[in-house]
Amino acid sequence: MVDDQTELVGQPSPSGIVPWLALQQLLDSALPIGGFSHSFGLETLVQEGAIRTSAELEEYVRLMLLQSWSTADVMVIKAVYRDLPSLNYPSLWAVERLVHVQRAAIESRTGVQKMGRRLLQLLVSLYPQCDWSPLTIGLRANDCLATHPLVFGYACWQFGIGLEQAAQGYLYACIVTCVGSALRLMSMGQTEGQSIIARLTPMTADAWRIVEAMEPEEAYSSMPLAEIAMMRHEQLYSRLFMS
């Protein structure tokens, strides 16, 4: 467990990188990593009538934030900041796999991998001054999976961004991606979608405080309805999304 007074930060940012602006790029919904192609079960919930209104959507995103994205994906980011300074890659890869195998739906597992690998390819091109070799070599050797939270966390660490900011940034990106999917699935306007994002953004700090003292190996997800929806997605009659 990390001491409460210890702030885990990334390594000194490489030349030519402004950390907080590099983070904005990672959080940009227009980043071409395929997030727009995946609803991660939301499409099933909308089609089957489990989510009909913007209020129900907001409650769903809130629960995912507190009981899945923070308690599972953020644990991979925490492992990055814990294990990279000591080059303990086996420990980091083990946490990534622990979180990944908890994703019950094959579509969701595949989606998270595709997004992570596309992000890694993009980062290698955009920031050649950074050392991406642990991920690229680990992926080729099948030691790591290069899932989205792993690559995102590794990039934040490389850019010199602090752990808390990296975790909250990832959670914010999850909120934006989910609401963006809902805008294509539900009768809801852009202003209403942005209002939901604005109301939920402060909860990234609450979610971080809940998991701050957790060890990465304690990762878990407690959203069975969402997991079932992710598994049922491939059986839908018509689909807009890959997952």
Q: Determine contact, residues 229/41, Cβ cutoff 8 Å.
A: yes
Q: What is the pLDDT of residue 242?
A: 61
Q: Select from 99, 57, 50 the least CA-distant residue to 228.
A: 50
What pLDDT is stored for residue 32 in this prediction? 85
Domain ranges across the chain: 19-229
Domain 19-229 has CATH 3.90.79.10: no
Q: pTM of the predicted model, to two decimals?
A: 0.92
C-alpha–C-alpha distance, residues 40 and 17, integer Å: 32
**How far is it between the farthest Cα atoms of the chain?**
53
Dump pLDDT digits (tens) for 157-214.
Answer: 999 999 999 999 999 999 999 999 899 888 889 999 999 999 999 999 999 999 999 9
54, 143 contact by CB (below 8 A): no
pLDDT tens per residue across span 34-90: 766 778 788 888 888 899 999 999 999 999 999 999 999 999 999 999 999 999 999
Predicted local distance difference test score (pLDDT) of residue 4: 44
CB 143 within 8 A of CB 31: no
Query: CA-to-CA distance for 11 and 93, rounded, in angstroms?
Result: 19
Residue 231 has pLDDT above 90, yes or no: no
* Tens digit of each residue's pLDDT (9 = 90 or more) over 150-170: 999 999 999 999 999 999 999
What number of residues does the chain have?
243
